[in-house]
């Protein structure tokens, strides 16, 4: 009886040992439990697999949160690919247009010596062109990326990755898309402006001094003299003992590039701020206006102050005529509204809700 019981116990130990060795012996299923935690699962063929989802020191393995975060960024970039393609096209077009404009001749508009519109001494630009582009890239784009554009950011459900909300993810996609289309609008506006400048060939307010040289006076020339080309200007300036300068740029007054580029950015971000103000409830639980909603709505006007300031500076510096600045403002506004509408259509087409 004792021998039979001992034999049974040995058989049980041997069986248990085989099970343990079978489980730990396979290279595919070996887990280093002392280093981290693992998870086993079976595929459709019944084979077991292991996934290391975390470690004690936090340096080994990939957590579920990391996987979700990486997947979220991947989906974001994939969703923005068409928009980024449009951005690349806009950049290429702008570079090509600038290269062509630098090589071709500007339209020659006759300059009448008695026309007082062109006898205004200009000053150095109060607002350099790089300031306009810095405003767009370093202020307007971050504003769009920071401001929420939907109330979904307040009511989204928590995802598996932790405290990241589903509505917030959609909001990030929307903000990134509008930021991209702001840049698209700015680049296309620059291209249109450069082409129109070369086609129009309108002289700047200081063209008389560019043509006849600094220090020239109306009494130096016949009031009825008409300068048909740059060669006429250079010949007369040489006769007066002076030299012409900046003639090509002097014939590129219409429309104002500063005005069009600052306006397209300002109008676009103003529209977005007004659009984003709907993300905040206009009243609190007691029916009183919320200060944050009012502040956001009021701030939509601030970018327009920059555009107006740039436009006025071009007039004060005698770099443009009033019609040039007005045309630039209209051009920038029209293109801004157009590309803002394109961004909305793109957002709706990708499943967004306004």
* Whether 111 contacts 211, CB under 8 Å: yes
Which residues of the chain fall below pLDDT 50?
1, 19-20, 23-44, 49-62, 64-65, 67, 151-166, 285, 353-354
Q: What's the pLDDT score for residue 143?
A: 94
How many residues are listed for the chain in this entry?
354
Query: Is residue 13 situated within a structural domain?
Result: no
In the block, tokens 């470690």 appear at 55
In the block, tokens 């202020």 appear at 139
Q: What's the pLDDT score for residue 242?
A: 93
Structure tokens at 29: 């299923």
Domain limits for position 128: 81-106+121-204+249-349
Query: Is residue 179 situated within a structural domain?
Result: yes
Q: What's the pLDDT score for residue 30?
A: 42
Asked whether the whole model's pTM tops 0.95, one would answer no
Number of domains in the chain: 1
Q: What's the pLDDT score for residue 172?
A: 83
Query: Is residue 7 situated within a structural domain?
Result: no
Quote the Cα angle for 292-298-300, to 5°.
Answer: 110
* Whether 216 contacts 225, CB under 8 Å: no
Cis check: omega of the bond before 349, within 30 degrees of 0: no
Query: Is residue 304 situated within a structural domain?
Result: yes
Rg (alpha carbons) of the chain, rounded to whole number: 34
Query: Is residue 6 situated within a structural domain?
Result: no
Query: Is residue 332 situated within a structural domain?
Result: yes
Q: What's the pLDDT score for residue 149?
A: 60
Strand partners, 41: 49
Query: Is residue 281 situated within a structural domain?
Result: yes
Annotated catalytic sites, by residue? 258, 320
Q: What's the pLDDT score for residue 59?
A: 47
Report the C-alpha gap between 36 and 139 in whole angstroms.
Answer: 45
Q: What's the pLDDT score for residue 303?
A: 95
Residue 296 makes CB contacts below 8 A (sequence gap 6+) with: 147, 273, 276, 277, 280
In the block, tokens 């439990």 appear at 33
Q: What's the pLDDT score for residue 134?
A: 97
Query: Is residue 90 situated within a structural domain?
Result: yes
Contacts of range 82-91, beta carbons closer than 8 Å, 24 or more positions apart: 82/346, 83/177, 83/180, 83/181, 83/184, 83/346, 84/180, 86/180, 86/181, 86/184, 87/180, 87/183, 87/184, 87/187, 90/183, 90/184, 90/187, 90/188, 90/191, 91/187
* Whether 300 contacts 140, CB under 8 Å: no
Q: What's the pLDDT score for residue 79?
A: 78
Burial 138-163 (b: 16+ CB within 10 A, else e): eebbebbeebbbbebbeebeebebee
Structure tokens at 2: 């004792």
């Amino acid at each position: 009886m004792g021998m039979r019981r001992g034999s049974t116990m040995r058989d049980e130990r041997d069986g248990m040992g085989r099970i343990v060795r079978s489980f730990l012996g396979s290279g595919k299923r070996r887990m280093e439990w002392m280093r981290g935690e693992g998870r086993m699962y079976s595929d459709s063929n019944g084979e077991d697999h292991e996934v290391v989802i975390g470690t004690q020191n936090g340096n080994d393995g990939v957590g579920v949160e990391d996987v979700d975060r990486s997947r979220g960024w991947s989906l974001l970039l994939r969703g923005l690919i068409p928009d980024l393609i449009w951005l690349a096209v806009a950049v290429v077009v702008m570079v090509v247009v600038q290269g062509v404009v630098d090589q071709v001749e500007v339209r020659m508009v006759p300059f009448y010596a008695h026309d007082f519109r062109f006898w205004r001494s200009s000053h150095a630009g109060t607002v350099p062109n790089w300031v306009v582009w810095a405003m767009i890239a370093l202020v307007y784009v971050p504003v769009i990326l920071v401001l929420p554009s939907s109330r979904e950011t307040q009511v989204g459900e928590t995802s598996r990755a932790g405290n990241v909300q589903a509505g917030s993810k959609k909001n990030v996609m929307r903000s990134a898309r509008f930021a991209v289309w702001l840049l698209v609008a700015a680049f296309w506006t620059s291209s249109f402006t450069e082409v129109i400048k070369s086609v129009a060939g309108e002289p700047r307010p200081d063209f008389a001094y560019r043509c006849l040289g600094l220090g020239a006076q109306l009494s130096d020339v016949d009031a009825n003299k008409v300068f048909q080309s740059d060669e006429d200007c250079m010949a007369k300036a040489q006769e007066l003992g002076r030299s012409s300068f900046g003639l090509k740029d002097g014939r590129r007054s219409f429309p104002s590039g500063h005005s069009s580029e600052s306006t397209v950015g300002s109008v676009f971000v103003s529209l977005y701020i007004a659009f984003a103000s709907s993300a905040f409830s206009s009243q609190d639980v007691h029916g009183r206006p919320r200060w944050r909603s009012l502040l956001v709505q009021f701030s939509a006007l601030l970018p327009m102050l920059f555009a107006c300031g740039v436009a006025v500076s071009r007039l004060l510096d005698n770099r443009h005529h009033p019609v040039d600045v007005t045309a630039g403002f209209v051009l920038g506004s029209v293109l801004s509204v157009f590309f803002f509408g394109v961004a909305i259509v793109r957002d709706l087409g990708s499943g967004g809700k306004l």
